[in-house]
Structure 1
């Protein structure tokens, strides 16, 4: 794994925006002031084929370990460890897991620390609402074809997404699959990610419809969710976290109407409810408990930092945190850093509890700190997207996305 600098292409911004990355330049990232280039092709990372093949094996093993951890949580009823205290929600998640073969599940993203020397280490698994998908699937592929036509890339995302929709088509009820995002997305990332996934579904031959989460209505007479045309929403892909869904205005109706296997009158939600067991930071602690000493895991606990305090240091991560919000870094000497400046409201997350994970600094490539976003589609490793920072021990909303090649 190496980092190289390179001259950006003339007119690169218009090029990648035309490929769907309309947020290639953020005007005011994280309230820091001034425009910020999210897409950064002034440098790129190079991997060897054996490195990528080894990482693919790591990613697929981590996915299998995560599924085993979810099964353990359901069998032992450890939902409270995940902050799931509503018995009805716990029942929905458990039944969703037991009937997972009947529910479409598409994709997820592992975030790994890797320096090309030691083993990759898992930071988290976003298996419910992962973004940074468009840039990983399309613009970086076209960049490689233009700049390094003789190279290759760890990137089969588009083909695998289309194949995933086609393979799971028989699980979907009649009618269009609705694709929903929130209007609260100010940069356009969620909107474009949803549109891109909708495009992959259409290429698989599915009928689709677009809708904002805020426009999903409830028909009290029929007990059904409906769109703006009063059509029943029989299935919907949502780029909206489950923990937000169940707290929304129609949360109770949603739990009562979750389709866990084709029941009449309900809505099939994608990703399914059992993905709550993979996207929650409590997974990190359960993984370590079930697989102590695993070379790709970091020690992690739910009841406190234990031996990490005063030795390696630790990161206190809110169970439901997003983009670094509310994360507290505690060094071996007890010094503390909170990443509120980059992550917005520091108090939005944390009431649900924390996971205490061993502090593992990001690798340093001449002052640049990358994290590997490794993609899983249908349980198989499907691609890589790299984000990096130069001013923070954690990847945040102000991070840059850099392309990569295999040579």
Structure 2
């Protein structure tokens, strides 16, 4: 793994916007000197390196599924702060094996030592358009003879084909929230809808705020009063179950992602992984609401997003904090493993899984210790 310079395509903004990355300006602070999509640099991996990382990702995913089974079997929902009333829904969903679509592992990796899991974005992962589509077209334009760790699109289409026979008749509804003013979420869910349509599943787009509840028919409906039989949403489960209509979730609607992913979209997952697989080479020690014996650590809110409300204590005792609105649900304390330094930038590898298989890679990097909304996305390639 190495970081190299490259010459941006003269018309790169128009190209990436045409490919669906229309939010690269609105989702990134304007006062930064560096764009969100930055093709002036990229990372180069060797094929054997990628194959090894794929094995790590699939092993981590299998371990995460074991955590879900452990929580359902033991009833340890309190570790994750999941309300008692939600637990039976998770259990029923898990035992039905409600189908799941995709997720993204955030990994520490420096090109030499074993990759380390930082967190798992299992319910509403973003940076999908840039990982699947935009960097692939960059590769075709700039390094057409090389390869890329990227089968995300094909695997999403194939997964929809696998899921389709078990879905109720009628279109799949695809929902985002109007609360996102950047446009990132609507473009992400629109892309997921495209992959479903390519698999032969018709879709209807709507905002979560426009979903209605029919108390007579006991069903969720869209703006045309049509029943929502299958809902693919880019909206966190913890928000859904906390809202008034959340009490109706046992209705006939099939949800993608399923509610059992509440176990995986919570950073207490890191605590349970370390408990079930202590000393695993791809994990960092993690504890709930206490640093335990850690002398340097990252304090993360269980349901935090985009690096908000984090606190880092470095080995020399220096503290770094970010602001935000998370933390009431509790914190995880994870061993501090500083992101590797490549030319003054620190990358996080976003490794994608579709269903249960490794599917691709997206990289975000920052000059600081925390990857947040100021971080840039950079492409990668594999020389052939």
**Which residues in structure 2 correspond to 1:333-348 (within 5 Å)?**
333-340=316-323, 346=324, 348=325
The equivalent position to 2:308 in structure 1, one of 325, 337, 360, is 325
Distance 1:34 1:289 in 2: 40
Cα gap change, 1:144/1:231 in structure 2, threshold over 3 Å: closer, same or farther? same
- Contact 1:23–1:38 under 8 Å retained in 2: no
Distance 1:3 1:36 in 2: 16
- Contact 1:25–1:35 under 8 Å retained in 2: no
- Contact 2:298–2:313 under 8 Å retained in 1: yes
Structure 2 length as normaliser, TM-score? 0.97
The equivalent position to 1:364 in structure 2, one of 303, 324, 341, is 341
Distance 2:364 2:99 in 1: 28
Structure 1 length as normaliser, TM-score? 0.92
Q: Does the residue aligned with 2:377 lie in a helix, a strand or coil? A: strand
Distance 2:130 2:27 in 1: 18
Count of paired positions: 383
The equivalent position to 1:237 in structure 2, one of 232, 245, 256, is 232
Give yes or no for the alignment of 1:122 onto 2:117.
yes
For residue 168 of structure 1, report the CA deviation from its aligned partner: 1.0
For residue 37 of structure 1, report the CA deviation from its aligned partner: 1.4
- Contact 1:27–1:36 under 8 Å retained in 2: no
Give yes or no for the alignment of 1:406 onto 2:382.
yes
> Alpha-carbon deviations, 1:198-253, whole Å to 9, x = none?
00000000121111000001112211110000001111000000000111231212
- Contact 2:43–2:380 under 8 Å retained in 1: yes
* 1:104 counterpart residue number: 99
Distance 1:160 1:251 in 2: 31
Bigger CA drift: 235-244 or 183-192?
A: 183-192
Q: Does the residue aligned with 1:307 lie in a helix, a strand or coil? A: coil
* 2:80 counterpart residue number: 82
Distance 1:351 1:339 in 2: 15
Distance 2:51 2:374 in 1: 30
Distance 2:27 2:361 in 1: 26
* 2:192 counterpart residue number: 197
> Alpha-carbon deviations, 1:21-78, whole Å to 9, x = none?
102223762xx73675110000000000000000000000000000011111111111
> Alpha-carbon deviations, 1:113-143, whole Å to 9, x = none?
1010111000000110000000010110111
> Alpha-carbon deviations, 1:128-171, whole Å to 9, x = none?
00000000101101111111111000000000000000011111
Give yes or no for the alignment of 1:46 onto 2:44.
yes
Distance 2:183 2:55 in 1: 33
**Unaligned runs of at least 5 residues, structure 2:** none
* 1:22 counterpart residue number: 22
**Which residues in structure 2 correspond to 1:142-181 (within 5 Å)?**
142-181=137-176
- Contact 2:6–2:40 under 8 Å retained in 1: yes
The equivalent position to 2:256 in structure 1, one of 267, 270, 274, is 270
- Contact 2:130–2:362 under 8 Å retained in 1: yes
Distance 1:248 1:35 in 2: 39
Q: Does the residue aligned with 1:337 lie in a helix, a strand or coil? A: strand
Distance 2:338 2:248 in 1: 43
> Alpha-carbon deviations, 1:87-119, whole Å to 9, x = none?
22011112211111xx22100000001010111
Distance 1:326 1:303 in 2: 14
- Contact 1:25–1:36 under 8 Å retained in 2: no
Aligned residues: CA RMSD? 1.2
Question: Deviation above 4 Å: which 4+ runs of structure 1?
Answer: none
Distance 2:33 2:320 in 1: 26
* 1:394 counterpart residue number: 370
Q: Does the residue aligned with 1:325 lie in a helix, a strand or coil? A: coil
- Contact 1:28–1:36 under 8 Å retained in 2: no
* 2:211 counterpart residue number: 216
Q: Does the residue aligned with 1:168 lie in a helix, a strand or coil? A: helix
For residue 360 of structure 1, report the CA deviation from its aligned partner: 0.6
